[in-house]
Structure 1
Amino acid sequence: MNFRNFFFALALFIGFQSVSAQASWALYSNEDFAIEVTAIGEETASGAEVVSAYQEGVALTKLYNKYGLVNAQGVEIIAPRYEEIRPFENGYAAIRKGNKWSFINKQGRKISSFRFDWVGRFEQAAAAVQINGKWGFINEQGALIVPAEFEAVRSFGQNGLAMVKKDGQWYNLNQKGELTTLPSNLEQGLQASR
């Protein structure tokens, strides 16, 4: 028995939610147990090769040095056309075309034009973006919610605050763009970590 047949037998035994006989992938997940058999090496309908494991229900595909996405059912969400696609995190993936970045959602819809020099990941419904060497934040619709005017940033945390550096000084920032000074002991810790 090869590993592929073993996983299909295991899938039937424990009740996998999705099993594909055409592609070598299967998914099962509950609170206590999760298994993922990927389709790495399989081909999509367009001839692209699956080159990553599934993450948040999608896997990366590659064709002629361009990347796209396929969902767990084997359906191509995006044909390979980007130079880079980062893994999905919190429902969004960063994509690069040329030397500019944007984001897509799991349906493959781009949320902004390719206008960012660099991007962070979405946390607390906001992502750090760099424009002309300065950092700001966008929301899930791609709108700039905090202007790109900071030297450095740390993503928004569960407390609803991000940390930003302006004129060599670190501050707390809320999603309305309001700055407050960091406590002195935190500022000293940040300076020491550089």
Structure 2
Amino acid sequence: MKTKTLILLISSFNIFLTTKIHSQEILEEPIANQRESIGLFFWDGMAKVNIGGEYGFIDRQGYLQIPCKYDMVTNFQDGLAIVRDNDKYTFIRKDGSLLTPLIFDSCEPFYDGYALISYQGKFGFIDREGKIIIQPRHDFAMGFSNGLGLVGHDGLNGYVNVSGKLVIDYQYEFSLPFSEGYALFMRDGKFGYINTKGKEIISPKFELASSFHEGLASVRINNVSGIINKKGKFVIKPTYQNVRNFKDGVAVMMQSGKFGLINNKGLEIIPPRYDLLSDFEDGIAVFKIHNKYGFVNSKGEEFISPTFDKASVFEQGMASVTLNGKFHYIDLQGNIVYTSPYSPNHEDESNIILAKIDKKRGYIEGKEKIIVTLDESFTPARVVLLINSNEYIISNAGTLTAK
């Protein structure tokens, strides 16, 4: 479907540049060796764990709150996480109860109080109580925002309200969900914007465009990119190869194949000098220069010098890096706080594992560090957690008891 293809190209506005202009924009993140027993971070006070190839959740005290019985889980967000079992999806609460039966073919996280679901090839929406508010009857859909959900029929997009009523007719060959009261759409190969009434506010004239963030949108015209406001006027003239979305008043830009940082007035905080620059999260980004990775803040200060072979962005004060063939976690001061005994395997995607059954040890990195060991006389009933110097055993039933 044309709509799905274009979403992959446009939705972040940066995928275009990855595939068409500069392939090095892709961040090469470290991936732990498959044998490494590593869980990553706590979200909503819960961390994913994997025991015997199935996932569950522990709390910050290390207690197994949700038994490991799902073949896929997402992190918790606002009290709910997505789980999958036998290729069927639903949401789970922190007490382990399911929001709905495991019946959906796919689920997306909640936005504006509603979640996109699919069933037998059609798309609909549920609320946070698990009630289906819009029956799965649409060929295509994306999340709710500004009280409207994007839906597709016969290759054209329109928008429904929370009652399922079509309030903006199927007419767009491509469009995105509303953001800050405006939705990006395409007509005859050009991009423009509508408001929540369906009125064209900015006529379709751009070669490429992004959704509005912080009152600004990145657009491309005559093969160069600049920034417009909600009146469609340029506040930063189109002179760049690309400008990403603004966040906290700054945006990553690209010029002559190099990346830098500008503020919302168009002033260059970091001139275009990096081979790669990630988006800034909490004022921090990872950069690549001369084939090495380091970290820079939104003031342009390189607070961790480029010494690593690969690096990820910081989450909860931790970032994964590789150096001289070793996988590490570092803190915000650049200190190595954990080193894996194994060599990284960058082709292996099974990196979020807590208690893999192979008599190894690993960590959960959050505000607390929990060391996981497997008893030397290991049987499936003898997974041992070392929590604050106290040992606990996880049984086959998924219960945690003091050793």
Provide the C-alpha distance between the structure 1 equivalents of 2:257 and 2:317, rounded to a whole number of angstroms.
Answer: 31
Q: Counterpart of 2:379?
A: none
Aligned length: 165
Provide the C-alpha distance between the structure 2 equivalents of 1:188 and 1:24, rounded to a whole number of angstroms.
Answer: 45
Provide the C-alpha distance between the structure 2 equivalents of 1:101 and 1:76, rounded to a whole number of angstroms.
Answer: 21
Q: Counterpart of 1:193?
A: 349
Structure 1: segments with no counterpart, 5+ residues = 8-16, 29-34, 43-47
Provide the C-alpha distance between the structure 2 equivalents of 1:24 and 1:190, rounded to a whole number of angstroms.
Answer: 41
Q: Counterpart of 1:77?
A: 235
Residues 170 and 38 (structure 1), Cα distance of their counterparts in 2 relative to 1, 3 Å cut? farther
Higher alpha-carbon deviation: 67-76 or 117-126: 67-76
The answer on 1:99 being equivalent to 2:257 is: yes
The answer on 1:68 being equivalent to 2:68 is: no
**Which runs of at least 4 in structure 1 moved beyond 6 Å after TM superposition?**
35-38, 187-191
Residues 132 and 188 (structure 1), Cα distance of their counterparts in 2 relative to 1, 3 Å cut? closer
Structure 2: segments with no counterpart, 5+ residues = 1-157, 159-166, 169-179, 183-191, 351-403
Q: Is the 8 A contact 2:328 2:340 kept in 1?
A: no
The answer on 1:165 being equivalent to 2:322 is: yes
Instruction: Identify, as 1 or 2, the structure richer in strand.
Output: 2
Pairwise CA distance, 1:124 = 2.5
The answer on 1:136 being equivalent to 2:290 is: no
The answer on 1:174 being equivalent to 2:331 is: yes
Instruction: Identify, as 1 or 2, the structure richer in helix.
Output: 1
The answer on 1:86 being equivalent to 2:251 is: no
Whose RCO is larger (CA < 8 A, sep 6+)?
A: 2
Pairwise CA distance, 1:38 = 6.4
Give 2:252's aligned amino acid.
Answer: A
Q: Tell me which of 270, 285, 300 is aligned to 1:112.
A: 270
% identical equivalent positions: 24
Residues 68 and 184 (structure 1), Cα distance of their counterparts in 2 relative to 1, 3 Å cut? same
Q: Tell me which of 190, 202, 213 is aligned to 1:39.
A: 202
Q: Is the 8 A contact 2:283 2:297 kept in 1?
A: yes
Over aligned residue pairs, what C-alpha RMSD do you find? 3.5
Residues 164 and 60 (structure 1), Cα distance of their counterparts in 2 relative to 1, 3 Å cut? same
Provide the C-alpha distance between the structure 2 equivalents of 1:59 and 1:97, rounded to a whole number of angstroms.
Answer: 18
Give 1:59's aligned amino acid.
Answer: A
Please report the TM-score for the alignment, with normalisation by the length of structure 2: 0.35
Pairwise CA distance, 1:131 = 0.6
The answer on 1:126 being equivalent to 2:297 is: no
